[in-house]
């Protein structure tokens, strides 16, 4: 009886103890935020070359980012990089990629109908892609509302794409890193469907896997449609800028619009 009582108390204590501990997911997010801040604080604003300085002249400037993992460009999780590569090819600048250690990524400077573009492929892991995005935005003087993130989307099947105007990261670690580093969620996003895993395949294994030969054929069409949509978005005239905020960018924009109507 004494042993049973002691074992019960022991289990009760540890159950209560672990309930008080932060979850693994929460701990991982906290650690990622710390890494984001450390990497950003360590950055130094570089002196710019003529071509880089020219982008700061008057006119529209936009940053288009293909989120992903360096060295894993052919995987589902890095489909954003594939879209950005297709965009560079359509613009005839695919041979201009060059590494820029000051933004921890590879960049191309280009234009679309009088809009100056910076194309960016981060060379950091997906979970800290935001560091590269924030560095590039700072270097080229680009506002968060003029940043377009291209990334994979589990909740859409392969073959489906959609534009999302700000809002939460919805579980995407790369987007969450961007929101954390830029301290706002107003960035426009092109969500490229990769579908959820079937059977017992884990999400982690699914997103890090490569597309099958049959899926590659669908992907070719997806890349064309994605580039068409990107160019359409980039060619549009600027609309009134949504206010940047530490959180709730879309909600802040809606509130501002309501206020204008009331006036």
The string of pLDDT tens digits covering residues 175-195 is 999 999 999 999 999 999 999
Bigger pLDDT: 175 vs 41: 175
Dig out the tokens for 2 from the structure.
Answer: 């004494």
In this structure, is residue 207 part of a structural domain?
A: yes
Bigger pLDDT: 260 vs 229: 229
What local confidence, expressed as pLDDT, does residue 72 receive?
92
| Calpha distance 130→125 (Å, rounded) | 10
What local confidence, expressed as pLDDT, does residue 236 receive?
81
Just list the catalytic residues: 77
What local confidence, expressed as pLDDT, does residue 58 receive?
58
Dig out the tokens for 256 from the structure.
Answer: 């501002």
Residue 128 pLDDT greater than 70, yes or no: yes
In this structure, is residue 109 part of a structural domain?
A: yes
Contacts for 13-16: CB closer than 8 Å, 24+ residues apart: none
In this structure, is residue 52 part of a structural domain?
A: no
Bigger pLDDT: 36 vs 91: 91
In this structure, is residue 171 part of a structural domain?
A: yes
Of 191, 199, 192, nearest to 215 by C-alpha is: 192
Of 146, 2, 137, nearest to 60 by C-alpha is: 146
Give percent of the chain above pLDDT 90: 61
Total domains in the chain come to 1
What local confidence, expressed as pLDDT, does residue 56 receive?
62
Average pLDDT value for the chain: 81
Question: What would the mean pLDDT of 15-38 be, rounded to a whole number?
Answer: 62
Bigger pLDDT: 56 vs 231: 231
In this structure, is residue 203 part of a structural domain?
A: yes
Bigger pLDDT: 163 vs 113: 163
- Strands annotated E in the chain: 60-66, 98-100, 105-112, 115-122, 147-153, 161-165, 188-193
Q: Which of 45-49, 107-111, 125-129, 138-142 has the lowest mean pLDDT?
A: 45-49
Domain encompassing residue 138 = 59-249
What local confidence, expressed as pLDDT, does residue 252 receive?
39
What local confidence, expressed as pLDDT, does residue 40 receive?
75
- Strands annotated E in 113-230: 115-122, 147-153, 161-165, 188-193
Residue 2 pLDDT greater than 90, yes or no: no
Q: What is the CATH number of the domain that holds 125?
A: 3.40.50.1470
| DSSP-derived 3-state class of residue 252 | helix
The string over 194-222, giving b where at least 16 C-beta atoms fall within 10 Å of a residue's C-beta and e elsewhere, is bbebeeeeeeeebbeeebeeebeeebeeb
pLDDT confidence bin for 18, thresholds 50/70/90: very low
| Calpha distance 89→146 (Å, rounded) | 22
In this structure, is residue 8 part of a structural domain?
A: no
In this structure, is residue 212 part of a structural domain?
A: yes
Residue 142 pLDDT greater than 70, yes or no: yes
Residue 169, φ and ψ in degrees, nearest 5: -75, -20
In this structure, is residue 31 part of a structural domain?
A: no
């Amino acid at each position: 009886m004494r042993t049973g009582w002691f074992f019960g108390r022991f289990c009760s204590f540890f159950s209560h103890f672990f309930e008080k501990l932060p979850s693994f997911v929460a701990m991982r997010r906290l650690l990622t935020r710390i890494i984001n801040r450390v990497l950003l604080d360590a950055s130094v604003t570089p002196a710019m070359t003529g071509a880089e300085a020219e982008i700061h002249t008057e006119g529209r400037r936009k940053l288009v980012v293909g989120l992903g993992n360096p060295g894993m460009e052919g995987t589902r999780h890095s489909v954003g990089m594939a879209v950005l590569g297709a965009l560079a090819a359509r613009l005839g600048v695919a041979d201009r990629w060059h590494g820029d250690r000051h933004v921890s990524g590879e960049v191309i400077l280009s234009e679309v109908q009088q809009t100056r573009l910076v194309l960016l492929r981060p060379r950091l892991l997906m979970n800290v892609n935001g560091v590269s995005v924030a560095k590039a935005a700072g270097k080229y003087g680009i506002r968060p509302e003029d940043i377009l993130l291209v990334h994979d989307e589990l909740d859409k099947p392969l073959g489906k794409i959609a534009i999302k105007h700000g809002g939460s990261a919805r579980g995407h670690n790369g987007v969450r890193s961007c929101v954390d580093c830029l301290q706002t969620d107003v960035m426009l996003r092109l969500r490229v469907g990769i579908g959820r895993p079937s059977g017992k395949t884990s999400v982690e294994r699914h997103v890090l896997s490569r597309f099958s030969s049959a899926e590659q054929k669908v992907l070719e069409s997806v890349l064309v449609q994605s580039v068409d949509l990107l160019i359409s978005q980039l060619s549009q005239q600027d609309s009134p800028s949504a206010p940047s905020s530490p959180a709730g960018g879309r909600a802040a924009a809606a509130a501002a619009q309501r206020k204008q109507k009331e006036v």
